[in-house]
Amino acid sequence: MSDLASLQTAIDTAAAKVVDLKKSGGEVDAIKAAVAELLAAKTAYAAANDGKLADGTPFDPNASKKDKKKKKNDSDKAANAAANAPTADSLAKKAAKKAEKAAKKAAAKSAAAGGAPPAPADGKGKSPAAAPAAPAAAARPPAPPASKGKKKGKPVQFGKVEPLQLIFSPNTGAKVPFVTLLAATMSGLDPDLKLKMDSRRTTPAFGTHGVGTTASKVIQGDISIAKYFLKTHPRQDLTLPLLGGADFKGQAQVDEWIEYTLKCKGAAGATGNKVGYNELLETVEETLAGNNSMFLCGNKLTLADLVAFDALNLDPKVNPNPTPTASFPSSVDRWFALLDSSPYTLKTRHLLCSIDGTTEFPADQVLDPLASGCQFLEGAMPFEVCTRFPPEPSGYLHIGHAKAVLLNDYYARRYKGRLIVRFDDTNPSKEKEEFQQSIVEDLKKLGVFPDVVTYTSDYFAQLKSYALWLIDEGLAFMDDTPQEEMQTERMARQNSKRRDLSPADNRKYFDLMGSGDAEGAKWCLRAKVNMQSVNGTMRDPVIYRQNLTPHHRSGTTYKAYPTYDLACPIVDSVEGVTHALRTTEYNDRDEQYAWFQNALKLRRVRIHGFARMNFMYTELSKRKLTWFVENGQVTGWDDPRFPTVRGVVRRGVNVKALRGYILSQGASRRITLMEWNKFWAVNKKEIDDEAKRFMVVSEEGRATITITNAAEPSKNEFLNIDAHPKFPSVGKRLLKISSSVMVESSDISGVEVGENIVLSRWGVVKITKVEGGIEGEYVPDGDLKACKRKLTWLSESEQNIQVKLFEFDNLINKPALEEGENFKDFINTNNLAHMVVTGDAGMKLLKHNDVIQIERRGLYRVDREHGRVGNMAKGGTGVGGDLGEEGGGLVLFMIPDGKSKAMSTLGGKLEHR
């Protein structure tokens, strides 16, 4: 039989003939004959190559012309749909339907013809040195379960497969795609894979990337997918001819080994004995020892080794069947150890752990269970995970950033790895030292302590050499196309006229741009990626541009700066980041990110997407927040109405509650628009149990009850009560009791002589007089339950203090702004209210940031201590409070508790949402 090269030549010749005939207007019959010839040539090739053509696409000789036409229409339709509103979902559904139909048809046809699948090439060429004829027991690999009764066509598979998704089945017996995963880690592709289990599948499946307008394809089978990976992503730095390279005989040898290994495995699997396993073991030993070679096909690692390694693997998770009788013979032992200890194998094992939530890490790597809302980090290796939080020092951290930083921190800690905080300072026009400083402080507030703090600006020199390298490799070009025109060209997928400038010219203009020359300002550097890509971010993105604003760290050393698109993939890789957590609006950029790492031959970094966290009635964009500050809508970046970290902490957000809340949503990719009230309810749970209880009486509208059988206020009589009635561990406090008790007049209105009322925490008082001043008599051991009214109150005392209570509402009065709406049209100006109350002497001891509960009013945070003047958040000195906290004295901010009808008496003045 001819080898693949000559089969390919036959295809090429036949194809050329068809084209010639068509072009020259040949006879219909002649064209038909030529097409039949082409088909035959392809069939012969596919028969000798696992049913696939040279480019790896499966070839079905039975697909009629009509089918093809339909296929083309379908793919055109799909492409159109993708151009309009590409949902991976709908494409996958279509593809699944199509596959199902095709398989049914193929099965029907094959049943009619009584045909067997095309016989695989039996390789007249020389067998591998020691590959013997397979024993009878191992002669037939087990048929894939879903193809029972259908002799031809792929088994029908259900469940959608999205691009770059690798799906396998958790069903017992269904093997995990170990070879595929090993090939993926070796080809550096693993960071791109989205791993998923789907019990509806019986064969591993992989969705390829759609290229240009072509829709994604599904490849099935562990080895087919592995081959695809190794062919499409050959590793430059590994020089492993994993497939036998362009040497077709070598490739046949590899294929023979694979086929033989599968037969042996089939025997072991089908009969449940060790025949196949031991036979394979013997053959591998004979080959390695007999040839004195490192690997099965000589001294180079090939796919044959990976497949055999997998078949001989003892890990029951990977391989449920084999249990060898004796230990490995010596050559196998060496070969196995080499493969077993390879970092790729290690990584593959961890990849397996990360898809299958039930698999434990090895004993010495036991980790805390995952937080309930969080997923595994794919490919995460304990002790080696490195995450990073890259804030741009162009504003203060807000609650959305808190999600990003807390997630990064969580994963770094959970995997016992590292967290880098990197100031992403590549745009001197927006960045300031002040912002950088504030971020450092806010991270502390959030309880985040990075292992290392770095700056993108520290890499400016390195980034510049990478840019020059791209220029020299012909992978980047200088462009002076005006911005608008560039945008139009992008939309039209039209190359820039500068795309093919020579490297020398490119360098010249790059230097001009970097020199700060005004002429150079017109030029920017663009990566030469792909203007035809469906993904707009791949259309030659700008990666360097001039900026003459002095940089807050590097001063005027540089006059041109890398963009985020260039800097991020480089610095992530260089700094050893293993998992880059990015909000999902960067999804489109993932491809570009990988392109840069590939183009620059850098270590690939795995991207893990998570959804932005937004809150209702809240704007988070730095630009808009800056507007509020600059227009005096708030008192500063730490205003309690502001969603900045310092703002919300001042409002009463408890960091532990926030952390728990964020982890409970986890790194899900679903877009989240949070309701403040839901968060506040969680927040309350965290703080309520430790909040000391106090009572206050408002300055306006109070009434006095004279308790005729109690001591004068001057006598200083106290009750020693639990500061928290339910939790004595919170401590004790003194509650002054006397004959003169202040209450809210609304609480006591309509009271009648003879009525028993409860004074909270003290006891029952029987009202004895109402006209001309209310009087009552303390009833020791009175029945609290029999009373209708339960009042908060305060004894008259010289030690009582004045307390200012503040309440806030959101700055925006619409839950979520629509596209095109201007936030300035939705400013809620009724966002602050305050009142003055009297509190008892115990409140003098409250410290800044203490959280207390004022009975029947709610939770409060101490913003200013008693006896202090000014805004403590700003250092406690200087001008008086800027929210209306004039003068001095205790200032409390109400902490919402998630109930829309808050206990607060200011509730009527403000919305609670």
Contact 752, 770 (CB under 8 A): yes
Query: Of 827, 709, 832, 719, which Cα lies nearest the Cα of 776?
Result: 709
Q: Catalogue the long-range contacts made by 628-635 (C-beta closer than 8 Å, 24 or more residues apart).
A: 628/811, 633/811, 633/827, 634/811, 635/882, 635/883
Query: Of 662, 651, 735, which Cα lies nearest the Cα of 693?
Result: 735
Q: How far apart are CA 807 and CA 835, in angstroms?
A: 9
- Shortest distance, position 576 Cβ to ligand ATP, whole Å: 18
Structure tokens belonging to residue 754: 């003879």
Question: Does residue 814 belong to the site contacting ligand ATP (CB under 6 A)?
Answer: no
SS3 332: helix
Kindly tell me which of 582 and 692 has the beta carbon lying closer to ligand ATP: 582
Kindly tell me which of 394 and 802 has the beta carbon lying closer to ligand ATP: 394
Kindly tell me which of 398 and 804 has the beta carbon lying closer to ligand ATP: 398
Q: How far apart are CA 906 and CA 857, in angstroms?
A: 9
Structure tokens belonging to residue 771: 């006209």
- Shortest distance, position 598 Cβ to ligand ATP, whole Å: 22
- Shortest distance, position 392 Cβ to ligand ATP, whole Å: 4
The residue within the footprint of ligand ATP, chosen from 227, 401, 559, 702 (CB under 6 A), is: 401
Kindly tell me which of 213 and 614 has the beta carbon lying closer to ligand ATP: 614
- Shortest distance, position 514 Cβ to ligand ATP, whole Å: 25
From residue 618 to residue 657, what is the string marking binding to ligand ATP with x (rule CB under 6 A)? --xxx-----------------------------------
Of 132-140, 165-173, 401-409, 878-886, the window that binds ligand ATP (rule: CB under 6 A) is 401-409
Question: Does residue 612 belong to the site contacting ligand ATP (CB under 6 A)?
Answer: yes
Kindly tell me which of 347 and 403 has the beta carbon lying closer to ligand ATP: 403
- Shortest distance, position 407 Cβ to ligand ATP, whole Å: 8
Please state the three-class secondary structure of 142-190 as a single string: CCCHHHCCCCCCCCCCCCCCCECEEEECCCCCCCCCHHHHHHHHHCCCH
- Shortest distance, position 620 Cβ to ligand ATP, whole Å: 5
Distances (CA, A) of 656 to 420, 448, 640, 649, 681: 21, 11, 18, 11, 13
The residue within the footprint of ligand ATP, chosen from 350, 403, 579, 864 (CB under 6 A), is: 403
Report the Cα 29 to chain-centroid distance in Å. Answer: 58
| Region of residue 298 (phi > 0: left; psi between -120 and 50: alpha; otherwise: beta) | left
Q: How far apart are CA 750 and CA 620, in angstroms?
A: 49
Kindly tell me which of 96 and 620 has the beta carbon lying closer to ligand ATP: 620
Q: How far apart are CA 509 and CA 560, in angstroms?
A: 12
The single-letter DSSP state of residue 846 is -
Kindly tell me which of 431 and 489 has the beta carbon lying closer to ligand ATP: 431
Question: Does residue 614 belong to the site contacting ligand ATP (CB under 6 A)?
Answer: yes
Residues constituting the chain: 913
Kindly tell me which of 349 and 582 has the beta carbon lying closer to ligand ATP: 582
Kindly tell me which of 317 and 612 has the beta carbon lying closer to ligand ATP: 612
Residue list 332-391, contact with ligand ATP (CB under 6 A)? 390-391
Kindly tell me which of 379 and 391 has the beta carbon lying closer to ligand ATP: 391
The residue within the footprint of ligand ATP, chosen from 123, 210, 266, 400 (CB under 6 A), is: 400
Question: Does residue 560 belong to the site contacting ligand ATP (CB under 6 A)?
Answer: no
Structure tokens belonging to residue 485: 């025109």
- Shortest distance, position 592 Cβ to ligand ATP, whole Å: 16
- Shortest distance, position 638 Cβ to ligand ATP, whole Å: 18
Contact 229, 273 (CB under 8 A): no
Question: Does residue 508 belong to the site contacting ligand ATP (CB under 6 A)?
Answer: no
Kindly tell me which of 582 and 861 has the beta carbon lying closer to ligand ATP: 582
Structure tokens belonging to residue 582: 């990015």
Question: Does residue 569 belong to the site contacting ligand ATP (CB under 6 A)?
Answer: no
Residue 133's CB is within 10 A of a number of other CB atoms, namely 9
Kindly tell me which of 676 and 762 has the beta carbon lying closer to ligand ATP: 676
Report the Cα 731 to chain-centroid distance in Å. Answer: 43
- Shortest distance, position 821 Cβ to ligand ATP, whole Å: 17
The residue within the footprint of ligand ATP, chosen from 259, 285, 310, 392 (CB under 6 A), is: 392
The residue within the footprint of ligand ATP, chosen from 613, 707, 743, 895 (CB under 6 A), is: 613
Report the Cα 634 to chain-centroid distance in Å. Answer: 33
Contact 538, 516 (CB under 8 A): no
Number of residues that bind ligand ATP (CB under 6 A): 15
Of 25-33, 555-563, 612-620, 818-826, the window that binds ligand ATP (rule: CB under 6 A) is 612-620
Contact 369, 616 (CB under 8 A): no
Kindly tell me which of 404 and 748 has the beta carbon lying closer to ligand ATP: 404
Kindly tell me which of 210 and 569 has the beta carbon lying closer to ligand ATP: 569
Question: Does residue 429 belong to the site contacting ligand ATP (CB under 6 A)?
Answer: no
Structure tokens belonging to residue 294: 């490192």
The strand pair at 542-546 and 524-527 is best described as antiparallel
The residue with its CB nearest to ligand ATP is: 400
Phi, psi dihedral angles at 766 (to 5 degrees): -95, 125
CB crowding 827-838: b at 16 or more within 10 Å, else e: ebeebbbbbebb
Question: Does residue 269 belong to the site contacting ligand ATP (CB under 6 A)?
Answer: no
The residue within the footprint of ligand ATP, chosen from 240, 404, 600, 803 (CB under 6 A), is: 404
Which stretches of the chain bind ligand ATP, using CB under 6 A? 390-392, 400-401, 403-404, 582-583, 612-614, 620-622
